[in-house]
């Protein structure tokens, strides 16, 4: 199969149209009739009226800015993942339609009138809440990143996927509106023996994860809105769990139930999946926190350099342990570093934008970014992680990536060693 | 076994003391409705490692073979060997510490309860929560048998599912020992750092990136 694929790609390559370069070339050819001193074609005619597109969509010229998947990764598109096009985004907010999706049984379509959240187990009162009930509680509005524990998982053994989107795109950052569980649980009360919560989704996979009660009462939310509008169906409409800073699998979508107990439930997702197999055959369990990480979104494999001279290197950094304190950038493979500019707002457990201008004279570069959070934790190299965790890990790869900028301006995902 | 739970609790609790004081009388908003036991029963389907939550029922290996062939084999194979990209469910013993680990219910899953819980709630893929409790016990019994965990005359039930000892039950480490591999003093090298800068691999050469 791989051989066929390779041959196919080679034959396309011979025609001179492969992958990312196609997209870039299409946008790079101006029509001289639209340039000064000519009258551009869009000027004389009336454009679309206000009723044409009651729910707006991006410009037709941005149609390449979409979520993408890697079809060979999974057996079915209903139990699969796609990736946020980080390389095409600015600032720190991920547009709702570009937030990566990870489903285990496809998207549940729930009429909000039929939505119920059940809270049972070691509580004083077992209760059921409608969506309208939830919205009558005091609300909070908070920005948080959500990163899949498997983001970068294909890169454990070496540089494998040639794109910022495919290697870092299982992360998104939105503003959530919801109710704090510490407020919601004042209605049910908690028994002193309650130590763990089972969060359960109402999709066909019945997604379940165990969460310690301290986290639930600390900063977890039941959210019904993202970036000012109702949650998208693929993000858990009408309500999802928000578990700030912790792996995305725990942010149960389409949440239908919270059960309180005195022990963890050891669900499929926290035993056979989302555990980290070490070289000795033992596996780490309950590795919840998404540690500090960063990525250079441009230049990147999808964003080659087209011109010599001034460049604006752009990137994103985040930490599940708090605020990002600093991001350093290297252009020579990690030998020398320069501290990048962080752009406000800098919020805990949220993406942070960094930029660094640099001059490119057409030389080869090995560009890297290195995040540091407020705890002093510094983003590691993959070799540091491999020393401890081996190469059979799938999850929690927060290592520094390297983009090779070649003399032509083309950019490649490479592994240094 | 749950000593680590206490460790985690103590660590986290210290920072949250102020916010955690939920008392029975403290129902501040008067929102929501009391759930009836019947409502809870319908949705409370989880099964814990100690067997708590296991619904009344039972299933034999013998009956499991037939149900598995009907309900599971089209994706997982007659003997749990997996079809196409669908998961293998059997085998993999002794592979976890190799370069090519095979994680199956037999080689990796720490609890039989998790098999029941997951199969009942999520399988068959796309027809979830359609199996009866007995059928679910039967399928789990057949899988345990194929993984050499129980004998062919074993009858699995709500009474004994919490007693099954899985081969990899002690294969998991707690609590989370990270961060484990990084400078945490906040002073990483800035100039003339001693790092390898030789390119040893390129994603382009692996050639598995999807093309538009």
What are chain A's domains?
Answer: 112-280 (3.90.420.10), 293-414 (2.60.40.650)
B126 Cα to chain A: minimum distance (Å): 7
B73 Cα to chain A: minimum distance (Å): 15
Which one of A182, A206, A247, A382 would you mutate to disrupt binding with B, by most B Cβ within 10 Å of its Cβ?
Answer: A206
Contact present, A70 and A169 (Cβ < 8 Å) = no
Which one of B9, B31, B44, B129 would you mutate to disrupt binding with A, by most A Cβ within 10 Å of its Cβ?
Answer: B31
Residues in contact with A112: Cβ distance below 8 Å, sequence separation at least 6, in sequence order: A131, A237, A238
Is any Cβ of chain A less than 8 angstroms from the Cβ of B122?
A: yes
Range of the domain at B95: 55-165
How many domains does chain B fold into? 1
Asked if residue B92 is part of any domain, the answer here is: yes
Asked if residue B161 is part of any domain, the answer here is: yes
Asked if residue B69 is part of any domain, the answer here is: yes
Asked if residue B70 is part of any domain, the answer here is: yes
Asked if residue B156 is part of any domain, the answer here is: yes
Question: Within its chain, how far is the Cα of A153 from the centroid?
Answer: 13
Asked if residue B210 is part of any domain, the answer here is: no
Q: What is the ipTM of this complex?
A: 0.90
Query: What is the token pair recorded at B122?
Result: 């999520």
pLDDT in tens, chain A (417 residues): 333 433 333 333 333 333 444 454 455 689 999 999 999 999 999 999 999 999 999 999 999 999 999 999 888 999 999 999 999 999 999 999 999 999 999 999 999 999 999 999 999 999 999 999 999 999 999 999 999 999 999 999 999 999 999 999 999 999 999 999 999 999 999 999 999 999 999 999 999 999 999 999 999 999 999 999 999 999 999 999 999 999 999 999 999 999 999 999 999 999 999 999 999 999 999 999 999 999 999 999 999 999 999 999 999 999 999 999 999 999 999 999 999 999 999 999 999 999 999 999 999 999 999 999 999 999 999 999 999 999 999 999 999 999 999 999 999 999 999
pLDDT tens-place string over residues B110-152? 999 999 999 999 999 999 999 999 999 999 999 999 999 999 9
Asked if residue B122 is part of any domain, the answer here is: yes
Helix (H, G, I), strand (E, B) or coil at B184: coil
Q: What is the DSSP string of A353-414?
A: EEEEEEEE-S--EEEEEEEEETT--BPPPHHHHHHHH-S---S---PPPEEEE-TTS-EEEE
pLDDT tens-place string over residues B134-144? 999 999 999 99
User: What CATH number should be reported for the domain holding residue B158?
Assistant: 1.10.760.10
Asked if residue B86 is part of any domain, the answer here is: yes
- Put simply, the answer to whether A288 touches B176 (Cβ < 8 Å) is yes
Q: Kindly tell me the burial class for residue A66, based on how many C-beta atoms sit within 10 Å of its own C-beta (0-12, 13-18, 19 or more).
A: middle
């Amino acid at each position: 199969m791989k051989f066929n694929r390779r041959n196919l790609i080679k034959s396309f390559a011979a025609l001179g149209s492969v992958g990312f370069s196609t997209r870039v070339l299409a946008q790079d050819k101006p029509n001289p009739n639209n340039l000064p001193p000519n009258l551009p074609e869009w000027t004389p005619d009336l454009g679309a009226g206000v009723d044409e597109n009651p729910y707006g969509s991006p410009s037709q010229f941005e149609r390449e800015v979409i979520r993408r998947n890697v079809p060979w990764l999974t057996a079915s598109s209903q139990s699969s993942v796609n990736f946020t096009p980080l390389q095409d985004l600015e600032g720190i907010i991920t547009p709702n339609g570009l937030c990566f999706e990870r489903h285990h049984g496809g998207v549940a379509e729930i009429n909000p009138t039929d939505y119920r959240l059940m809270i049972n187990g070691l509580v004083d009162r077992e209760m059921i809440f409608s969506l309208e009930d939830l919205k009558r509680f005091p609300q909070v509005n908070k920005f948080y990143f959500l990163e899949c524990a498997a983001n970068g998982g294909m890169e454990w053994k070496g540089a494998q996927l040639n794109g910022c989107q495919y290697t870092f795109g299982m992360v998104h950052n939105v503003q959530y509106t919801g109710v704090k569980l510490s407020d919601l649980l004042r209605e049910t009360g908690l028994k002193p023996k309650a130590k763990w919560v089972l969060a359960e989704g109402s999709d066909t996979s019945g997604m379940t994860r165990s969460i310690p009660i301290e986290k639930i009462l600390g900063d977890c939310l039941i959210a019904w809105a993202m970036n000012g509008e109702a949650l998208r169906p693929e993000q858990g409409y009408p309500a999802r769990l928000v578990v700030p800073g912790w792996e995305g699998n725990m942010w149960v979508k389409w949440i239908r139930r919270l059960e309180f107990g005195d022990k963890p439930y050891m669900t499929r997702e926290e035993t056979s999946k989302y555990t980290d197999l070490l070289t000795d055959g033992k596996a780490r369990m309950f590795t919840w926190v998404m540690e500090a990480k960063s990525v250079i979104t441009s230049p990147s494999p999808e964003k080659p350099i087209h011109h010599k001279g001034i460049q604006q290197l752009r990137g994103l950094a985040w930490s599940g342990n708090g605020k990002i304190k600093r991001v350093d950038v290297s252009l020579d493979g990690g030998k020398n570093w320069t501290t990048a500019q962080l752009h406000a707002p800098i919020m805990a457990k949220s993406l942070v934008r960094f930029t660094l201008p640099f001059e490119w004279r057409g030389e080869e570069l090995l560009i890297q970014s290195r995040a540091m959070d407020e705890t002093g934790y510094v983003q590691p190299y993959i070799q540091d992680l491999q020393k401890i965790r081996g190469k059979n890990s799938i999850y929690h790869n927060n290592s520094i990536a390297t983009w090779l900028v070649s003399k032509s301006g083309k950019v490649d995902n490479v592994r240094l060693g | 076994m749950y000593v680590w739970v206490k460790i985690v609790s103590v660590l986290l609790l210290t920072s949250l003391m102020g916010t955690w004081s939920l008392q029975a009388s403290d129902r501040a908003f008067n929102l929501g409705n009391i759930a009836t036991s019947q409502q809870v029963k319908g949705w409370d389907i989880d099964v814990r490692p100690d067997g708590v939550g296991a619904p009344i029922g039972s299933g034999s290996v013998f009956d499991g073979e037939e149900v598995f062939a009907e309900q599971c084999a089209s994706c997982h194979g007659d003997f749990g060997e997996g079809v196409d990209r669908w998961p293998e469910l059997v085998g993999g013993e002794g592979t976890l510490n190799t370069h090519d680990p095979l994680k199956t219910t037999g080689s990796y899953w720490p609890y039989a309860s998790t098999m029941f819980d997951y199969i009942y709630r999520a399988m068959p893929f796309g027809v979830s929560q359609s199996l009866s409790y007995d059928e679910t016990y039967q399928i789990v019994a057949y899988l345990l048998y194929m993984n050499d965990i129980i004998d062919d005359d074993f009858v699995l039930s709500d009474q004994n599912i919490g007693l099954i000892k899985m081969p990899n039950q002690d294969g998991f480490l707690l609590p989370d020992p990270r961060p484990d591999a990084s400078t945490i003093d906040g002073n990483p090298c800035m100039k003339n750092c001693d790092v390898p800068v030789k390119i040893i691999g390129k994603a382009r050469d692996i050639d598995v990136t999807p093309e538009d």
